[in-house]
Amino acid sequence: MTKRPTILDVARHAGVSKSTVSLVLQNSPSVKNSTRIAVEEAMAKIGYVYNRSAAGLRGASSGLIGLVINDLRNPFFTEFAASVQMTFAEKGFATVVANTDEDPTLQANVIASMIEHGVNAFVISPTYANDKTVFDRLERSGIPTMQVLRQVDERTDVFPFFSLDYQTGSRLAARHLAEMGCENIAFVGGLEDRPVTLERVSGYDELMEAEQRRKTYFYGRPSRAFGRNIARRIAKDQNRPDGLICFSDLVALGMISGFAETGIQPGKDVRIIGFDDIEESSLCYPRLSTIRCDVSSFGKSAADALLGWLEKGSKPEAVKRYPVELIVRQSTLQF
């Protein structure tokens, strides 16, 4: 196991000084092209590997970005994380990722660890715990930090908040069901009082109030299991809603499967619309109408905004919401 070569070895092989090698590494324009090529050949020949620890010590960027996600097993967040990571990779940044599993203590730990590693920036989809100290520490660290998908800290001037326009989404869903002739529209899923739930309910509330309709909520974990349970519960109810806006596609898919067990046909006997537009929604039977949240391109946009901040110093706007889109499929149509 021979010692790994340094710029000094490269310099010797290329017949230049070690500063010149460093300049080549920085892609400095002040190096003659022939010299650059000679140096690069020397690096290839002796198997030189850039040592970022050394560079970092001298003040260079670590090339590391921290990505902290509250629930990495949830496909919605996974899609986001994958998109962000790949956007960073394109620009040469490596992503240090951590799943906090909604645990604020774990979140504090992983963020502390990432700061030690010298990450250049943070993208955080935070836990809902009211843990100000972690954001305080981030502020003191001076590391550019974006909160995404969940606004937990109100200092959006410090920690820009990017998300999707859920309010418009739920208004579109409610209006669509109303236009399809639904009399009794309910909202299903989402934990009460959570910011995301409030947002995804608000457009529904708005329309119901404007049209003086009765509002009905079935709150709960936005899971497939919850959707199925609610569907089975209300299946027997004569006065059950004839229009259902679900917190997420997962809830809606659970409802479809729950209704299937009880002989109720979505699209015919009841209209259901989801939220997110995950892949399965266009493949299930009946096809699920939904509010499309293009997480993948949202992730790319958020990552690009952060890179702009990092590389050009252009701080993103304090709050930004990306548009969502109504997708009409079988589950809200007579088919």
Stretch near DNA under the rule CB under 7 A, chosen from 7-15, 86-94, 95-103, 196-204:
7-15
Residue 327 contact partner, candidates its own copies, DNA, none, CB within 5 to 8 A by sort of partner: none
Q: C-beta of 16: minimal distance to DNA in Å?
A: 4
Q: Per this entry, what is the length of the chain?
A: 335
Number of residues counted as binding DNA (CB under 7 A): 32
Q: Does 6 bind DNA (CB under 7 A)?
A: yes
Q: Is the dihedral of CA 149, 284, 82, 226 positive or negative?
A: positive
Q: Among 202, 192, 193, 198, which residue's Cα sits nearest to residue 226?
A: 192
CA dist., res. 147 & res. 66, Å (int): 12
CA dist., res. 109 & res. 172, Å (int): 40
Two structure tokens written together for 82: 């994958």
Q: Does 224 bind its own copies (CB under 8 A)?
A: yes
| Window 273 to 312, contacts with its own copies (CB under 8 A) | 279-280, 283-285
Q: C-beta of 138: minimal distance to DNA in Å?
A: 19
Through-space distance between the first and last CA atoms of the chain, rounded to whole angstroms:
70
Neighbours of 71 (CB within 10 A): 15
Q: Does 19 bind DNA (CB under 7 A)?
A: yes
What amino acid is encoded at 41 in this protein?
Answer: E
User: Between residues 110 and 124, which has the closer beta carbon with respect to its own copies?
Assistant: 110
Q: Does 170 bind DNA (CB under 7 A)?
A: no
What amino acid is encoded at 34 in this protein?
Answer: S
Q: Does 116 bind its own copies (CB under 8 A)?
A: yes
Residue 46 contact partner, candidates its own copies, DNA, none, CB within 5 to 8 A by sort of partner: none
Stretch near its own copies under the rule CB under 8 A, chosen from 8-16, 78-86, 153-161, 214-222:
78-86
Residue with tokens 């290839």: 44
CA dist., res. 243 & res. 266, Å (int): 10
Burial class from Cβ neighbours inside 10 Å (0-12, 13-18, 19+) for residue 321 reads middle
Stretch near DNA under the rule CB under 7 A, chosen from 49-57, 104-112, 126-134, 249-257:
49-57
Q: Does 112 bind DNA (CB under 7 A)?
A: no
Stretch near its own copies under the rule CB under 8 A, chosen from 54-62, 208-216, 267-275, 301-309:
54-62
Q: C-beta of 30: minimal distance to DNA in Å?
A: 4
Residue 8 contact partner, candidates DNA, its own copies, none, CB within 5 to 8 A by sort of partner: DNA
Q: Does 20 bind DNA (CB under 7 A)?
A: yes
What amino acid is encoded at 176 in this protein?
Answer: H
Write the DSSP string, 244-307: EEESSHHHHHHHHHHHHHTT--BTTTBEEEEEE--GGGGTSSSPPEEEE--HHHHHHHHHHHHH
CA dist., res. 71 & res. 194, Å (int): 15
Query: Coil, helix or strand for 190?
Result: strand
| Window 50 to 109, contacts with DNA (CB under 7 A) | 50-51, 54-55, 57-60
Residues at the site binding its own copies, with contacts judged by CB under 8 A: 1, 47, 49-57, 62-64, 72-73, 75, 78-79, 81-82, 85-86, 89, 92, 94-99, 101, 106, 109-110, 113-118, 140-142, 224-225, 228, 254, 257-258, 260-261, 279-280, 283-285
The residues binding DNA (CB under 7 A) are 3-4, 6-8, 11, 15-20, 22-23, 25-26, 29-33, 35, 48-51, 54-55, 57-60
